[in-house]
Structure 1
Amino acid sequence: NESACRFFEQALYHPGAKKWLRYLTDRHISEVTIKTFRIGYAPDSYEKLQAHLKKEGFPIEDCAKLGLVQKKEHGSGYFDKFRHRIIFPFQNISGKILGFGGRKLRENQPAKYLNSPESPIYKKGELLYGLHQAIDAIRAKDFVVLVEGYFDLLRLVENQFRNAVASSGTALTPTQARLIRRYTKNVRIAYDGDSAGIKAAIRNGFILEKEGLNVTITALPEGEDPDSFVLEQGIKPFEKLLESGQSPLDFRIEAFFAETPNPSYQAKEQFLTETLQELSDLKNALRLGHYIHRLAEAFQINEQALVDQMRKLRRFRKKNEPLPAEQTREAPQDSGYAFTGMHRAEAGIIGLLLNGQPEVRNFIMQSVSFDLFENEPLIRIYDQIMMELEEYGQIDAGKFLLRFQEDEPMKRLLSEIALQEYKDEMKFARDCIFQLKKWQLEKKSRELQELIRQESASSDSVLHYSQELIAVRRQLNELTKTHQE
């Protein structure tokens, strides 16, 4: 990776790449910042990087493990994975290069951003872009600004605001939250001002709080991100916005009333239930008490009622952590992972994506999303497969296995899945998708029935949850009817 990083850096300053260096400087990114973050350029070539790596003496198989090159689908040989992209190296806290992110430079390139696949040394949920460069500033100021994108971070650095890191557009993990906590307990989130940015800020704010961090969220104007805001208005107005940040709960309440100025009783109840579920993992009892008080105040509801509901939700979740008996049959343990019936359907989807006919793959890609998956190993595999299919439009199961050859249990799991055979692929795909959607609706139905039982003393609550239950059962009937046709 270090050798590849030097190659990308040198390529950016090659006489033939002046246009791409200018792409950065035209965005007001200085050469000092470019060199500090070791930003580079991947040439528009299928073989220049691998030729460089071979010359440096690196085995091509090791380069493939790191995602620098990829085996050709047809014939022998490899090709460079990153082509015609601005390259952002991912570094660990000591500065070691673990992977790369590439920003496309041509409109017809398939993905705006292309990242290294997970490898023995690169785990995307364990790094934060820019943390290596920011550690001293974070310690000195005792807070960090969390932004979404590379250019948001670089814009702040250009304005001498060095205690910032980027989540690179992904949901934070508890591991990343704990990584931040090594250097400060104070986080200020400044995400994009659109709906997706607001939702991501709230979600990540609660993740950070659950790990014991103090969090505020800054509301940027709609359509703005830190890059555009600071570029147009300067760093001082941005600093003022940071100072006016709100807690994740206050930010969520304000966003709710902004989106729903005159909410119905049902909308309020749904918001309160979802928020209490989010807060139920909070370990800080004082903060939890303050948040319940704020909810009671904002929604003009009895505080004790919220406390009682929180207790019910905690009991309900604890009671329902084990899966229902009909879903707990385990698959053979050869792979090291146990599957419920639901996860067998997930494995079937993975198998068809790896080996199915193109029309079956296309059907699955149009019908399946992440929220239908629950098994973590299979989610990881699904993520990697979708990246491959979205970029190249096809996949080779044998070559795909090589990505996981350092993870023996995962490799065995994938081997078992890849060896499955199906008499009628399209029928099997429809059956798997039906089962996944059916289980999701049945799970929701059980949750609503339990809430109706717990809230039997409140006619309003029973009415609200009963209406939801009727809607879920209707969806379930329609799903079953459609599948049987």
Structure 2
Amino acid sequence: MARISEQTIEQIRSIADIQDVVGRYVQLKKRGKNWFAPCPFHNEKTGSFSISPERQMFKCFGCGVGGSVINFIQKIENIEFVDSLKFLAEMYNIEIQWDGIPNTSNNLSQQMYDIHEITWDYYRESLKKSKVYQHYLENERGLSKDIIREFQLGLAPNNWQGLLDILREKKFSSEAIKESGLIISGEKGFFDRFRNRVMFSLINERNKICGFAGRSIDPKDHAKYMNSPESPIYHKSNFLYGLNKSKNFISKTDKILVVEGYLDFLQLYQNDFKHTVAVSGTAFTQQHARKLKRYSENIILVFDGDSAGINAAIRSGFTLTLEGILPKIAELPIGLDPDDMMREGKKKEINDLFKEALPLLEFQFKHFNGGTDTPQNLNKFLRSSLLDISKIDDPIFREIMLKELAEITKIREENLYEKLSLLLKRNINRQPKKIIKKTETIIKVGESRRDKIEKEIIQLCFAKDEKIRNLLYNYVEIDWFKNSYYKTIYKNVFIHLKGELAPDANIVMDRLEEKERANLSKSIFELDLKNPTIKLAIDCMIGLEKHDLRSTQRAMQEKLKDNINTSDSLKILQKISEIRLKINDIKDKYIDI
């Protein structure tokens, strides 16, 4: 099986700067020589997540997760190690070599990207030949030629095998063609998925086409929109249309407008509301919320003005609260969407609606199905709102929302809190309890004196002083470690101790499991607070040896109690005496160092 070459992995490590990569996901603030942010892996308000540009590592002191830039991408994108390498290679335009051979686009993901580029060329050329579809986009939908070109709109012609013939001619693998979802099979064989439709290119944040959406202009067609299926390069639950362009404007305005459709997005973007993204082809998900939070927490939902749009906006709003975001919702006129308003020349009106957007709970109160004008309906509204609030993990954020709910409904806060407490208890009871088998051991790192000594030895393995590392290499044996995490770490770092330079923690981390990475990253971050010396290394080695000898001594003393009046007592006393001498002589072992 082909594998990414070590040269490529090393190139990725050296080029993919952790501050740059992490900064694309969270807003970093400098504190001392490190950078901090709220952790993207658990819900928190305090900045316990830290990155070290010097060591190219990250560590959260809240949930414990830590590792290299490759491990960060693994975890935040929920992908495997190899896929995280590909992800970073794409981000930094690094050519991947497989087993020392330059990549010739034989890997599946690259083939799929190539297929989508060729497909876009086919759709673009088809649109150039169709006056009907050009008229539809420019005159009926009001899109400029610049917008059509910038967002790579095209036309899938009414041809059953036009694209299939092109892809066959290019000799892509059958697996890549199948996985792309652009060709499907039926009773009569294989044929193009999209036919006789306006095509919207789905472009990811790295400016690569990963899928398509097709809109029919035939009123008789029951399927108005058709999207690419899920694939190795396209995930609906994590994709936001237009983000590849709008992210540059979001960073300037610190605001995001979220709309439902492709045409809603294009019209707003065309009319200078460039801090916009669209959720298309799927419901708004927590992955969407998490992605938006990387760019801004000031979010306005701009959904259609009908009942379906109102309900979708409320659901999406509560999804955002799970990520600690309090969104606002714009109230569009009944029956209108952003596309309609822009085509009717209502730019000022919609801008006013953005300014007057209501906070989530206030919007829900105003538009609650059935109203809130009777005690019964008000009670239904409160139950619905409290149920959504109970799903939020952050207790402070829950309290903020509870106060707002009390102000809106004029219900006493303590009564709402009592009801919320019952819901929270019910949520806890419904969560499956983890059953730990008797054979499973949980190692609490740092609790015992021995654990602390073992951790210090691990820290010293990464000291800049070559003499310290040589000392550890010559004297410290793997069997000295009783903590399984530190033992595994030492096994992986041992071979690097004889090098002229301190071991690269990132290389070691990439070979470890997540819990071991968490322990190593914590140890290395703490190393920055210490002054590694030869004396400290010797003290640690003496400490471990003494700990083992004293454990043996205590065991022998217990054995002596059971054999005090037997013939074995003298032998046991002799062994105890020998152990005492060894304990006293340990320091002499290192006296010449």
TM range (shorter): 0.5 to 0.7
Counterpart code for 1:84: N
**Distance in 1 between residues matched to 2:408 and 2:239, nearest whole Å:** 37
After superposition, give the CA deviation of every residue in 1:78-137 in whole Å (9 maximum; x if it has no partner): 100100000111111011111111101222323111111111221110100111111101
RMSD, aligned α-carbons: 1.8
Match of 1:6 among 121, 132, 136: 121
**Distance in 1 between residues matched to 2:428 and 2:400, nearest whole Å:** 24
After superposition, give the CA deviation of every residue in 1:342-372 in whole Å (9 maximum; x if it has no partner): xxxxxxxxxxxxxxxxxxxxxxxxxxxxxxx
| Corresponding residue for residue 183 of structure 2 | 69
Contact preservation (8 Å) 2:267, 2:338: yes
| Corresponding residue for residue 132 of structure 2 | 19
Counterpart code for 1:30: S
**2:379 matched to 1:266?**
no
**Distance in 1 between residues matched to 2:187 and 2:424, nearest whole Å:** 50
| Corresponding residue for residue 289 of structure 1 | 399
Q: Secondary structure at the match of 2:431?
A: coil
**Distance in 2 between residues matched to 1:314 and 1:260, nearest whole Å:** 26
Contact preservation (8 Å) 2:238, 2:287: yes
Aligned 1:96-175 pairs, distance under 5 A: 96-168=208-280, 170-175=282-287
**Which range moved further: 232-241 or 81-90?**
232-241
Contact preservation (8 Å) 1:142, 1:184: yes
**Distance in 2 between residues matched to 1:178 and 1:150, nearest whole Å:** 21
After superposition, give the CA deviation of every residue in 1:147-205 in whole Å (9 maximum; x if it has no partner): 00111001111112111010115321111111111221211111000001001111111
Match of 2:155 among 41, 48, 51: 41
**Distance in 1 between residues matched to 2:325 and 2:412, nearest whole Å:** 28
**Distance in 2 between residues matched to 1:69 and 1:171, nearest whole Å:** 25
**Which range moved further: 162-171 or 186-195?**
162-171
After superposition, give the CA deviation of every residue in 1:46-80 in whole Å (9 maximum; x if it has no partner): 01111122223323442222111111224xx3100
- Relative to 1, partners in 2 of residues 1:30 and 1:101: Cα closer, same or farther, differing over 3 Å? same
Counterpart code for 1:311: S
**Distance in 1 between residues matched to 2:149 and 2:178, nearest whole Å:** 26
Aligned 1:221-370 pairs, distance under 5 A: 221-256=333-368, 259-260=370-371, 262-263=373-374, 265-322=375-432
Match of 2:318 among 203, 206, 229: 206
**Distance in 2 between residues matched to 1:212 and 1:303, nearest whole Å:** 21
**Distance in 2 between residues matched to 1:291 and 1:117, nearest whole Å:** 37
- Relative to 1, partners in 2 of residues 1:108 and 1:59: Cα closer, same or farther, differing over 3 Å? farther
Q: Secondary structure at the match of 1:306?
A: helix
- Relative to 1, partners in 2 of residues 1:66 and 1:209: Cα closer, same or farther, differing over 3 Å? same
| Corresponding residue for residue 20 of structure 2 | none
Contact preservation (8 Å) 1:64, 1:71: no
**Distance in 1 between residues matched to 2:430 and 2:282, nearest whole Å:** 29
Counterpart code for 2:241: Y
* Structure 2 runs not aligned, ≥5 long: 1-115, 434-593
Structure 1 residue 285 displacement after superposition: 4.3
Structure with higher helix content: 1
Counterpart code for 1:302: R
Larger radius of gyration: 2
| Corresponding residue for residue 82 of structure 2 | none
Structure 1 stretches of 4+ with a deviation exceeding 4 A read 283-287
Contact preservation (8 Å) 2:157, 2:196: yes
Contact preservation (8 Å) 2:260, 2:280: yes
After superposition, give the CA deviation of every residue in 1:302-333 in whole Å (9 maximum; x if it has no partner): 2101001101101012112349xxxxxxxxxx
After superposition, give the CA deviation of every residue in 1:196-215 in whole Å (9 maximum; x if it has no partner): 10011111111112212341
**Distance in 2 between residues matched to 1:214 and 1:302, nearest whole Å:** 22
Contact preservation (8 Å) 1:63, 1:69: yes
**Which fold has the larger relative contact order, with Cα–Cα distance below 8 Å and residues 6 or more apart in sequence?**
2
| Corresponding residue for residue 448 of structure 1 | none
Contact preservation (8 Å) 2:372, 2:381: no
After superposition, give the CA deviation of every residue in 1:377-433 in whole Å (9 maximum; x if it has no partner): xxxxxxxxxxxxxxxxxxxxxxxxxxxxxxxxxxxxxxxxxxxxxxxxxxxxxxxxx
After superposition, give the CA deviation of every residue in 1:261-306 in whole Å (9 maximum; x if it has no partner): 632x332222211110101133454543343233223333221010
Contact preservation (8 Å) 1:9, 1:39: yes
TM-score by length of 2: 0.52
Counterpart code for 1:260: G
**Distance in 1 between residues matched to 2:292 and 2:271, nearest whole Å:** 22
**Which range moved further: 225-234 or 293-302?**
293-302
Q: Secondary structure at the match of 1:171?
A: coil
Give the percent of matched residue pairs that are identical in Structure 1 and Structure 2.
36
**Distance in 2 between residues matched to 1:48 and 1:129, nearest whole Å:** 26
**Distance in 2 between residues matched to 1:260 and 1:254, nearest whole Å:** 7
TM-score by length of 1: 0.63
- Relative to 1, partners in 2 of residues 1:321 and 1:266: Cα closer, same or farther, differing over 3 Å? farther
**Distance in 1 between residues matched to 2:216 and 2:249, nearest whole Å:** 31
- Relative to 1, partners in 2 of residues 1:143 and 1:297: Cα closer, same or farther, differing over 3 Å? closer
Counterpart code for 1:64: K
Q: Secondary structure at the match of 2:327?
A: strand
| Corresponding residue for residue 22 of structure 2 | none
Counterpart code for 1:266: Q
Structure 1 residue 236 displacement after superposition: 2.0
**Distance in 1 between residues matched to 2:410 and 2:247, nearest whole Å:** 43
**Distance in 2 between residues matched to 1:151 and 1:95, nearest whole Å:** 19
**Which range moved further: 3-12 or 216-225?**
3-12
Contact preservation (8 Å) 1:129, 1:166: yes
Counterpart code for 1:318: I
**Distance in 1 between residues matched to 2:293 and 2:401, nearest whole Å:** 22
Q: Secondary structure at the match of 2:155?
A: strand
* Structure 1 runs not aligned, ≥5 long: 324-485
**2:168 matched to 1:54?**
yes
| Corresponding residue for residue 32 of structure 1 | 146
**Distance in 1 between residues matched to 2:300 and 2:168, nearest whole Å:** 44
Contact preservation (8 Å) 2:324, 2:397: no
